[in-house]
Amino acid sequence: VYESSSIESPLFRSGWQDRPMLVLTGQADKRVSVSYVDEHVALMAASGINVTYITYPNEDHFVFFTLRDQVLSDISDWLASTR
């Protein structure tokens, strides 16, 4: 989880420039709301960061445990696409 001030900093942007970022979240996450993630992913994208954002409907913070195979497949596909 990144704070807006971190994302807006030149150091953060330069560190992530030309490097892909993957963000995964469950849409039913009560620990980190999807609206918070939406906002920060949009901010990263607007800052020029190459961010891929995948959401999982009806899943909470622990989506990796409930949809393990799907999440691993999504990560594998993303990794293959960044080569």
Give 55's strand partners.
Answer: 25
Round to whole Å and give the CA distance between 74 and 40. 20
Closest-CA residue to 42 (of 82, 4, 79, 81)? 4
Tokens of 64: 């990796």
Q: Do residues 50 and 21 lie in contact, with contact meaning Cβ atoms separated by under 8 Å?
A: yes
Its pTM stands at 0.88
**Beta-ladder partners of 54:** 24
The parts of the chain modelled with pLDDT lower than 70 are 1
Q: CA 61, CA 79: separation in Å to the nearest integer?
A: 22
pLDDT of 49-69, one tens digit each? 999 999 999 999 999 999 999
